[in-house]
Amino acid sequence: MTDKRSRIVVVGNTKGGSGKSTIAMHLIVACLRRGKSVASVDADVGQRTLTKYVNNRRAYGQKESRALPVSDHIALEKSTQDTVRAAHAEEQERFVALLTGLAQANDIVVIDTPGADTFLNRLCHTFADTLITPLNDSFVDLDVLAQVEGEALKITAPSHYSEMVWEQKIRRASAKRGAVDWVVLRNRLSNLDARNKRAMGAALDELSRRFGFRTLAGLGERVIYRELFPLGLTLLDLPRAGEPFQMAHVAARQEIRGFLEALRLF
Ligand SMILES: Nc1ncnc2c1ncn2[C@@H]1O[C@H](COP(=O)(O)OP(=O)(O)O)[C@@H](O)[C@H]1O
Ligand SMILES: [Mg+2]
């Protein structure tokens, strides 16, 4: 890719329901509200959550005559070529052309990926300058990074996703595209299970040393994230006209700003 000027951020984790699309949308709106030009790409050709989120936002903005900043959004299509080889070749060619254009025209490109290991998903990971892996604060979800056993939480082997990231890192290095900043973002943090939180923290510290990622505190567990999707809104767009100001939302916005700073994108 030539004349690239933007930062490419991939939100990835081959587990569904870890918060990828929610975090992608909050990141997009946070960057837009800072005056950055943002392109968004939905590589989850099956679910299209981010595309629906963006469409909901456009519809809500029109209905309420409210000027909501929106990204330049593209939903990727799966190739319909007959053979796997031809399909992959087409997907790669289209993706590289698209990304080159978006990267030249925007400050930041945010790519949301599927919770599955697909050719397109791997391709997205190779182009990440920053890779954000949201992880629910649970040992069930930690399994996407490594196999952890017993009460002593012994790390026995890397998991499929860590191996996939590793492979894409090597490809990226051989293409001389510089190092990827891999960030594991803890999602759905709760104040209730301090013991689990500490144990997760210790396991993540150990894994971060082995696999070379940084760990950041992400979003707290809040029902509001589910309610905002149909309106296409994020916490950064609240309060809505006529709605009361809520302290909980201020705290949540602070979390988002905190992780945005720590991402060091600009
Ligand atoms: N911090 C959070 N607090 C509460 N619910 C959340 C949080 N983050 C995500 N969710 C909810 O979890 C579900 C999965 O999130 P989503 O962003 O679609 O994950 P993914 O894209 O990884 O599949 C959605 O219902 C979403 O609203
Ligand atoms: Mg998703």
> Is it true that the peptide bond before 244 is cis, omega within 30 degrees of 0?
no
User: Is the CB of residue 207 less than 8 Å from the CB of residue 157?
Assistant: no
The protein residue whose alpha carbon is closest to atom 9 in ligand 1 is 19
Give the CATH class of 7-141+161-263.
Answer: alpha beta
Q: Give the amino acid at 122.
A: R
The number of helix segments (H) and strand segments (E) in the chain equals 9, 9
Domain ranges of the chain: 7-141+161-263
Ligand 1 atom nearest the C-alpha of 15 is 22
Determine whether the shortest distance from the Cβ of 77 to ligand 1 is under 6 A.
no
Determine whether the shortest distance from the Cβ of 17 to ligand 1 is under 6 A.
yes
User: Is the CB of residue 183 less than 8 Å from the CB of residue 132?
Assistant: yes
**Looking at the CA of 49, which ligand is closest?**
2
User: What pLDDT does 199 receive?
Assistant: 87
Neighbours of 35 (CB within 10 A): 8
For the ranges 8-12, 103-107, 128-132, 148-152, the lowest mean pLDDT is seen at 148-152
The mean pLDDT of 113-142, rounded to a whole number, is 94
Residue 226's nearest CA partner among 16, 61, 53, 60 is 53
Whether 80 shows a pLDDT value over 60: the answer reads yes
Write down how long the chain is.
Answer: 266
User: What pLDDT does 4 receive?
Assistant: 63
Show the CA angle centred on residue 49, arms to residues 65 and 161, nearest 5°.
145
DSSP, collapsed to helix, strand or coil, labels residue 131 as: strand
Whether 148 shows a pLDDT value over 90: the answer reads no
Measure 115 CA to ligand 1 centroid, in angstroms: 12
pTM confidence score: 0.95
Neighbours of 169 (CB within 10 A): 19
Q: Tell me the pLDDT tens digit for each residue of 21-77.
A: 999 999 999 999 999 999 999 999 999 999 999 999 999 999 988 889 999 999 999
User: What pLDDT does 98 receive?
Assistant: 97
